[in-house]
Structure 1
Amino acid sequence: MSPVSIRPPGAATLMHVAIFCPDVDESIRFYREALGFSRTYEWTKTYTGTGKTVYSGRGVYIELEGQTYLELFPGGVPGQDSSAGPVHHIGLAVSSVDESYERCLAAGAQPFGFDDWSGEPTTVTINGDPEMLVRVAFVRGPAGELVELYEQYSPVIATER
């Protein structure tokens, strides 16, 4: 019997973002304490149907909700500029940017800013069509990863044109 996908056909959804971590257990602790992730699945080997090993080593999925995960692997350099790699940041929708930001800092994250903005919670308008009003903040996680905390105030802002 052939495997059957658990996802229906159609648009893609975010399943996971992979992070190489100097300390996987520290990253698990941070994401559980600060942002409510849960540890759900751990493995030490990935192989094909013919038995060929394609990955040998520790891997951990921690779930945010609804089958959205961070995939953590050993490796990486603490504080390394994650924008230098192919993944710029992890965007996480939260119910309160301010509360989540404080929890992140209390759990060991560092603030991260751009240009003349410190990265602390701030409200911004995204000037798409239509515009959106959101509150955002950025922090560095324990593996040096850049995390955006994102709170959407309204689906759209009514604009007069």
Structure 2
Amino acid sequence: MTAPMLNRGLDHVALHCYDLDATVRFYTEALGFRVAQEWSAPDAGVHRCVFLDAGDDRVIELFDAASTPPGGSPTGLVPRRRPTDEERADRAALVHFAIRTDDPVTLFQRAVAAGARPLMEPSVIETSGDVPMILHVGFVHGLDDEVIEFIDRPAVRH
């Protein structure tokens, strides 16, 4: 009998959203994601949640402001108490999440046009190390203060 595979890769990234409908529009219309499923689980503190298809059976999970998902605010989000960029950066364990693309510039521009705030204009970064890489990356603050990276990079060698 074969032992079960314990780590089958990253499953999802979850965001708590100040305005769920606006965030869904941002990720679908500007960034090309597709709504995969909408659900709720009131007994688990989830008023409204949307799974966005991120490809390869991976999702971005979006919770509405009233929800109290595990790891989120125990009282829901309060829009007037949004953290500053500095407070978020100083306290956040998750630095950013990245969306792989062949065209970081276009995706960056689409995100900004849809309401994201620029953090770092797309640029080329050359790395050193075991396997030097040339990365093309740009960063924005999303509608819910999440930091999104748009990246074109070579495949990681194992």
Q: In terms of mean alpha carbon deviation, does 9-18 or 37-46 score higher?
A: 9-18
Task: Note closer, same or farther for the CA distance 1:25–1:80 as it changes in structure 2 (3 Å cut).
Answer: farther
Alignment length, in residue pairs? Answer: 136
Report 1 or 2 for greater relative contact order, CA contacts < 8 Å, sequence distance ≥ 6: 1
TM-score (norm 2): 0.77
Contact 1:132 1:155 (C-alpha < 8 Å) held by counterparts: no
- Residue 126 of structure 1 deviates from its aligned partner by 2.5
RMSD: 2.0
Selected match of 1:89 from 96, 103, 110: 96
Larger proportion of strand: 1
Distance of 2:97 and 2:41 partners within structure 1 = 25
Structure 1 spans left out of the alignment, 5+ residues:
1-7, 47-52, 113-118, 157-161
What does residue 54 of structure 2 align with? 64
Distance of 1:137 and 1:56 partners within structure 2 = 32
TM-score (norm 1): 0.75
Distance of 1:79 and 1:30 partners within structure 2 = 20
Larger proportion of helix: 2
Contact 1:36 1:64 (C-alpha < 8 Å) held by counterparts: no
Contact 2:124 2:136 (C-alpha < 8 Å) held by counterparts: yes
What does residue 34 of structure 1 align with? 30
What does residue 139 of structure 1 align with? 140
What does residue 70 of structure 2 align with? none
Task: Note closer, same or farther for the CA distance 1:23–1:80 as it changes in structure 2 (3 Å cut).
Answer: farther
- Residue 151 of structure 1 deviates from its aligned partner by 0.6
